[in-house]
């Protein structure tokens, strides 16, 4: 994966805005579910998929409702199941401690079950390790520290989802680590909008998801070609090319075919020069040579037709930026080797050309976090149902009446929040304003205390919610403010 400067990210967002206005029929529908606000992922994922030849329609599910959307048959996603579901939970929003029941594992299993029912492809995003270190410098040596618990939970999640049919696994930790934790997080924006990461992290995560979907729907790269015209100068190859000998040999051993292309006047001599410098790769009867004077982009297209390989399964290594852009627009996997030869191996990895489908799961896995930290009070594993999920939250609400008349501030809150009533008709006095009763008894104010076993969703502090209703009826919620 490669991080991009802000101006490039802005250009991607502008491109996506233009494509959205065109309203082209999509090849894929993608539903995004996350425990945080994942909307910033949309333009980057949409553009990455489009550049690979997959036109996608992306929709974001309700905030922090992964399990609910997967378990409820009346949910937004259940009513219109997408082709792909991206599920991205975080430690910070979901309970992950052993004594809290393992919401992350429950969420992963719920997503798997839902995608099996919907016949959708699941892309599960492993959560990044949290930044909080309650033990400070001692966290690394604490078996119950953040790093230890997070690593154990992440491996348990991987054991649940990896190797399952129609399932792909991405990793938010890779994106955060590539950007660097100092720049990856946006604490202020997370407090106000629940957007925890900056745009660089969302773009890197989009690159991961897009590359996984390319393998899933277009297939992995099967043939890679070397552009002899740009990889040689005079009587020498570019200085960084020998460093690619090992990774290119690895692709050959993995079953990928190799071709050498050249469109210049001295293309034959350039191809022979590549053979002299990389004999174990180029001088092979199975290697295709094309040096007939045609443009390399045309040679590449003909090679795909001859070998019966789709454009997305045919890659080109080149040092020519214009050629890389041209073949990339035609749907081929272009690997542009930059001006720094020392970064060529990273450039090749970032291109996605070496990507392959995950291998089959190992028959016998090591003990997982779920088995080591099983809840002794639970005789049976939790069932995957919405009722079990809601009951497991152990939410308790208590009411107590607030004596005295409503203050002016409370009455104004009622007038402004009457459209947010949770149930029952809106009291007439609330729409009239400032607590003046119209044909009904004076309102009664209630305060509530709410508790939950999940600290991220109810921080443990008492929450005060004001309720108003006619004195002869049960309270109806019309507004809420934290204490």
The answer to whether the Cα torsion of 224, 228, 232, 235 is positive or negative is positive
Average pLDDT over residues 176-191: 92
Give the pLDDT confidence score for residue 268 in this predicted structure.
87
DSSP state of 197: B
Q: Label the pairing between strands 84-88 and 28-34.
A: parallel
The alpha-carbon radius of gyration of the chain (Å, integer) is: 28
Give the pLDDT confidence score for residue 83 in this predicted structure.
95
> 24 falls in which pLDDT band (50, 70, 90)?
confident
Give the pLDDT confidence score for residue 362 in this predicted structure.
41
Q: For 121, phi and psi rounded to 5 degrees? A: -85, 130
Q: For 168, phi and psi rounded to 5 degrees? A: -120, 155
Round to whole Å and give the CA distance between 430 and 424: 13
Identify the residue whose tokens are 């001006």: 339
Mean pLDDT estimate for the chain: 77
Closest CA to 35 of 12, 65, 10, 67: 65
Give the pLDDT confidence score for residue 451 in this predicted structure.
60
**Does the structure show a pLDDT above 80 at 101?**
no
Q: Which two tokens stand for residue 448?
A: 């509530």
- Contact 200/9 with Cβ under 8 angstroms? yes
Report the range of poorest mean pLDDT among 123-132, 262-271, 415-424.
415-424
pLDDT for 416-461, tens place per residue? 655 554 444 444 433 443 333 334 444 555 556 656 555 444 433 3
> 170 falls in which pLDDT band (50, 70, 90)?
very high
CATH of domain 6-218: 3.40.50.1110
- Contact 454/103 with Cβ under 8 angstroms? yes
Identify the residue whose tokens are 């890197």: 204
Average pLDDT over residues 202-223: 91
Give the pLDDT confidence score for residue 482 in this predicted structure.
36
**Does the structure show a pLDDT above 90 at 113?**
yes
CATH superfamily for 223-351 is: HAD superfamily/HAD-like (3.40.50.1000)
**Does the structure show a pLDDT above 70 at 380?**
no
Q: For the chain, give every domain's residue range.
A: 6-218, 223-351, 394-477
């Amino acid at each position: 994966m490669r991080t991009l400067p802000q101006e490039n990210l802005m250009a991607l967002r502008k491109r996506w805005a233009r494509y959205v206005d065109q309203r082209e029929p999509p090849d894929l529908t993608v539903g995004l579910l996350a425990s945080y606000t994942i909307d910033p992922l949309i333009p980057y994922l949409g553009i990455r998929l489009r550049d690979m030849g997959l036109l996608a329609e992306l929709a974001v599910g309700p905030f922090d409702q992964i399990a609910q959307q997967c378990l409820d048959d009346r949910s937004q996603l259940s009513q219109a199941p997408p082709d792909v579901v991206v599920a991205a939970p975080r430690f910070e929003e979901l309970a992950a401690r052993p004594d809290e029941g393992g919401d992350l594992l429950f969420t992963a299993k719920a997503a798997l079950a839902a995608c099996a029912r919907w016949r959708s492809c699941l892309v599960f995003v492993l959560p990044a390790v949290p930044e909080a270190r309650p033990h400070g410098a001692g966290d690394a040596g604490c078996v119950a520290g953040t790093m230890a618990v997070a690593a154990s939970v992440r491996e348990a999640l991987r054991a649940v989802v990896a190797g399952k049919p129609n399932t792909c696994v991405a990793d938010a930790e890779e994106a955060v680590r590539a950007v660097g934790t100092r720049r990856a997080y946006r604490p202020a924006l997370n407090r106000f909008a629940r957007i925890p990461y900056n745009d660089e992290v969302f773009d890197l995560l989009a690159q991961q998801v897009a590359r996984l979907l390319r393998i899933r729907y277009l297939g992995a790269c099967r043939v890679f070609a070397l552009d002899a015209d740009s990889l040689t100068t005079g009587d020498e190859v570019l200085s960084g090319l020998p460093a690619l000998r090992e990774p290119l040999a690895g692709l050959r051993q993995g079953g990928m075919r190799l071709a050498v292309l050249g469109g210049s006047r001295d293309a034959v001599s350039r191809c022979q020069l590549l053979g002299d410098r990389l004999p174990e790769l180029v001088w092979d009867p199975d290697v295709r040579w094309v040096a007939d004077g045609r443009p390399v982009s045309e040679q590449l297209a003909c090679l795909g037709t001859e070998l019966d390989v789709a454009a997305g399964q045919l890659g080109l290594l080149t040092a020519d930026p214009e050629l890389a852009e041209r073949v990339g627009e035609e749907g081929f996997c272009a690997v542009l080797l930059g001006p720094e030869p020392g970064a060529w191996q990273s450039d090749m990895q970032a291109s996605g050309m070496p990507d392959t489908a995950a291998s089959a799961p190992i028959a016998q896995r090591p003990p997982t976090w779920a088995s080591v930290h099983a809840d002794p009070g639970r005789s049976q594993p939790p069932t995957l149902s919405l009722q079990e999920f809601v009951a497991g939250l152990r939410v308790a609400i208590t009411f107590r009446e607030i004596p005295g008349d409503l203050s002016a501030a409370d009455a104004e809150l009622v007038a402004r929040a009457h459209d947010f009533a949770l149930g029952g008709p809106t009291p007439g006095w609330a729409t009239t304003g400032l607590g003046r009763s119209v044909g009904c008894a004076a309102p009664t104010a209630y305060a509530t205390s709410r508790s939950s076993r999940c600290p991220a969703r109810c921080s443990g502090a008492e929450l005060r919610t004001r309720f108003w209703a006619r004195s002869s009826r049960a309270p109806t919620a019309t507004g809420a403010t934290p204490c």
